[in-house]
RNA sequence: CGGGGUGUAGCGUAGCCCGGUAUCGCGCCACGUUUGGGACGUGGAGGCCGUCAGUUCGAAUCUGGCCACCCCGACCA
């Protein structure tokens, strides 16, 4: 198989696609817009899940599972939510097939098996969950209700891209219910912090935390908080969202609780989610023209050992040392693969593990056996050095930490370098076209202006950063007064 | 969903204008030599040419429908 990757500079989008396919992360499937996540890709997703799941549990949440199907009558209960997702829903209308009398061997939908009520394949689960919560919540003693589910959802997108936008995708969605508005807002922000912590400290992708404008808000939310990351090509990617849902769903599904002083009150809600889109963010943030670069904390294999030898005896001699190193590293909790396959040569393996993004590679040959050394190569910098076997476990433990830090710092510098303040619409357009990246500019706060800027430049307000610096200025588009800069970018 | 492009072995391709069942490279299998950055030799296997229909004695090649993918829009996590 040709492993030639398209260069980022030649065609970034083609590079991304090539990389996903060639690093064996995912593949297109027989279903339009739906991908097959292959073992190499799924292993990274599993590591993400494992880490996030622990973070959710550490903040008091528990997992549950709700149905894939939502009866249409429930789906439409919260009007804004229903309206927002209506255009991209898959709908089940029948429950049976039959053999087609006109086409032997073919099946047809049995017209007699039409459902009384259509079922919507969930694009998000607020409706079915809030309908369920109604039966679970009676008293303030039942609150807060802190539930997460790992699930698949379907959004019938016009145009799809592996991981970034697929018709079916995997995600987690947290759905919580609270007695007070304040508590729900604290929860919303807490989960945003959890996401930011995960994306920055595990994925090594720096993010801007902020709040969405009304235009960009989740359908059915009072406020949508988000984390926005900048990819290598200067386009923004929404990496996670946390919604304060107010009492919208409580009212739509009539979920009330009795307070201590025996009054009926609607509960306050949040929902929050991250999806397999994070895989896209991970890939686009760190990878290079040689292939994938996986941050050590999420790498299914943190270290690979490649033996270099002549003949069976040679392999046996190298293997003694390699297995010893493997054991020492495993004792430190490091995941190690010793690739002693005789079917591929060392050079082939080097290239292969670079393509697959393994953070650290150790090569051991005769020369090393004589000197008590190994060759150590790091994926992030593509540098190699010869080091003593003595104390290699501690050295690699430190190296993995260094790589993790380096990847984050590198991405952070890039993001800072690609963040520009502008004060005129001319500069705004110029920066978007020539420099790309985040653009901080004054905005008059109206949806109309936001919409016009989007129409003319394809840039959207990614968020109003949290703890945003307040400064007086004038809107770059309308010239009206403004109190702060907001974060614009062209986005995925 | 609109505009443009592509579809030939696992991957990348030649052939298509001027109809006669297919070229080359990589990969794959066997054996041997090799092994410190994608090895080499010899032999071999693998294709109803995206799919369905039409024209024709005969279709990868001509015509039409459909499907998938890529690029640009609209929509979106």
**The two structure tokens encoding residue A265:** 């009150």
A368 Cβ nearer than 7 Å to chain B strand:
yes
Instruction: Report CA A199 to chain centroid distance, whole Å.
Output: 8
What was the pLDDT predicted at A108? 82
**Mean pLDDT, rounded, for A180-191:** 98
Identify the band that residue A28 occupies on the pLDDT scale cut at 50, 70 and 90: confident
pLDDT at residue A449, rounded to an integer: 93
Does the model's ipTM exceed the 0.85 cut?
yes
- Is the pLDDT assigned to residue A106 strictly greater than 80? no
pLDDT the model gives residue A479: 95
Evaluate if the CB of A96 falls below 7 Å from strand B.
Answer: no
Residue A16 has pLDDT above 60, yes or no: yes
As a whole number of angstroms, the distance between CA A164 and CA A276 comes to 8
pLDDT-based confidence at A100, cuts 50/70/90? confident
**Residues A176-200: what's their mean pLDDT?**
98
pLDDT in tens, A258-293: 999 999 999 999 999 999 999 999 999 999 999 999
The nucleotide whose C1' lies nearest the CA of A383 is B37
State pLDDT tens for residues A359-405.
999 999 999 999 999 999 999 999 999 999 999 999 999 999 999 99
Strands A268-275 and A168-178 turn out to be: antiparallel
Range list for CATH 3.30.110.30 in chain A: 419-489
pLDDT value, residue A101? 80
Q: What CATH number should be reported for the domain whose range is A301-401?
A: 3.40.50.800
Q: Is the distance between the Cβ of A165 and the closest atom of strand B smaller than 7 Å? A: yes
Q: Where in chain A is the domain with CATH 3.30.930.10?
A: 12-67+131-286
pLDDT tens per residue across span A231-250? 999 999 999 999 999 999 99
pLDDT of A440 > 80? The answer is: yes
Tell me: pLDDT of A1 over 50.
no
Of A34, A44, A40, residue with least CA distance to A22: A40
Average confidence (pLDDT) over A441-461: 92
The per-residue pLDDT for A176 is: 98
d(CA A258, CA A491) in angstroms, rounded, equals 44
Q: Is residue A492 predicted with pLDDT exceeding 60? A: yes
**Parts of chain A belonging to CATH 3.40.50.800:** 301-401
User: CA-to-CA distance for A243 and A457, rounded, in angstroms?
Assistant: 27
CATH architecture of A419-489: 2-Layer Sandwich (3.30)
Nucleotides of B under 7 A from a protein CB: 1-2, 10-12, 25-27, 34-39, 67-77
Among A98-107, A117-126, A378-387, which stretch is predicted with the lowest mean pLDDT?
A: A98-107
pLDDT at A2 over 60: no
Span A102-122, average pLDDT? 86
Calculate mean pLDDT across residues A144-154: 96
What is the predicted pLDDT for the residue at A3?
Answer: 57
Beta strands in A212-323 (DSSP E): 223-230, 236-246, 256-258, 264-266, 268-275, 303-307
CATH topology of domain A12-67+131-286: BirA Bifunctional Protein; domain 2 (3.30.930)
- How many angstroms separate the CA atoms of A449 and A473, rounded? 15
A321 exposure class (CB count in 10 Å sphere: 0-12, 13-18, 19+): middle
At A107 the pLDDT is: 79
Distance from residue A382 (CA) to nucleotide B36 (C1'), in Å? 16
Of A364, A307, A303, give the one whose Cα is nearest residue A333. Answer: A303
A238 CB neighbours strand B below 7 A = yes
Residues 198-217 of chain A in contact with strand B via CB under 7 angstroms: 216
pLDDT at A412 over 50: yes
Q: Is the pLDDT of residue A465 over 60?
A: yes
């Amino acid at each position: 198989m040709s492993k030639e990757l398209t260069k980022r500079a030649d065609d970034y989008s083609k590079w991304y696609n090539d990389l996903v396919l060639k690093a064996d992360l995912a593949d297109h499937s027989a279903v339009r817009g739906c991908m097959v996540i292959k073992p190499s890709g799924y292993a990274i997703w599993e590591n993400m899940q494992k880490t996030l799941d622990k973070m959710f549990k550490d903040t008091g949440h528990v997992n549950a599972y709700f149905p894939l199907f939502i009866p249409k009558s429930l789906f439409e209960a919260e009007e804004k939510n229903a309206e927002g997702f209506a255009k991209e829903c898959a709908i089940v209308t029948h429950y049976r097939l039959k053999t087609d009398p006109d086409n032997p061997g073919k099946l047809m939908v049995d017209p007699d098996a039409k459902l009384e009520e259509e079922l919507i394949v969930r694009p998000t689960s607020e409706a079915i969950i809030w309908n369920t919560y109604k039966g679970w919540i009676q008293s303030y003693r039942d609150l807060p209700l802190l539930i997460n589910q790992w699930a698949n959802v379907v959004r019938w997108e016009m145009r799809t891209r592996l991981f970034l936008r697929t018709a079916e995708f995997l995600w987690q969605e947290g759905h919580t219910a609270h007695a007070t508005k304040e508590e729900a807002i604290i929860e919303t922000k807490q989960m945003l912090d959890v996401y930011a912590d995960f994306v920055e400290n595990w994925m090594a992708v720096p993010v801007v935390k902020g709040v969405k404008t009304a235009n960009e808000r989740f359908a059915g939310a009072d406020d949508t908080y988000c984390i926005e990351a900048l990819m290598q090509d200067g386009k923004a990617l929404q990496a996670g969202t946390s919604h304060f849902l107010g009492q919208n769903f409580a009212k739509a599904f009539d979920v009330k609780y009795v307070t201590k002083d025996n009054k009926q009150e609607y509960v306050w809600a949040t929902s929050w989610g991250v999806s397999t889109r994070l895989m896209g963010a991970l890939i686009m943030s760190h990878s290079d023209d040689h292939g994938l670069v996986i941050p050590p904390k999420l790498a299914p294999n943190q270290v690979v050992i490649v033996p270099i030898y002549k003949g069976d005896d040679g392999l046996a001699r190298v293997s003694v040392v390699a297995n010893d190193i493997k054991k020492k590293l495993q004792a430190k909790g490091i995941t190690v693969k010793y690739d002693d396959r005789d079917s591929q040569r060392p050079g082939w393996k080097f290239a292969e593990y670079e393509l697959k993004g393994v953070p650290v590679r150790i090569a051991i040959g005769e020369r090393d056996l004589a000197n008590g050394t190994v060759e150590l190569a790091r994926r992030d910098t593509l540098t190699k050095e010869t080091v003593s076997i003595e104390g290699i476990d501690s050295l690699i433990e430190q190296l993995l930490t260094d790589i993790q830090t380096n990847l984050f710092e590198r991405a952070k510098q890039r993001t800072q370098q690609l963040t520009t303040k502008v004060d005129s619409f001319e500069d705004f357009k110029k920066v978007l076209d020539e420099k790309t990246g985040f653009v901080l500019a004054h905005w008059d706060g109206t949806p109309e202006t936001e919409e016009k800027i989007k129409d003319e430049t394809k840039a959207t307000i990614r968020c109003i950063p949290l703890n945003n610096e307040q400064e007086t200025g004038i809107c770059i588009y309308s010239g009206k007064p403004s109190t702060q800069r907001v974060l614009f970018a062209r986005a995925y």
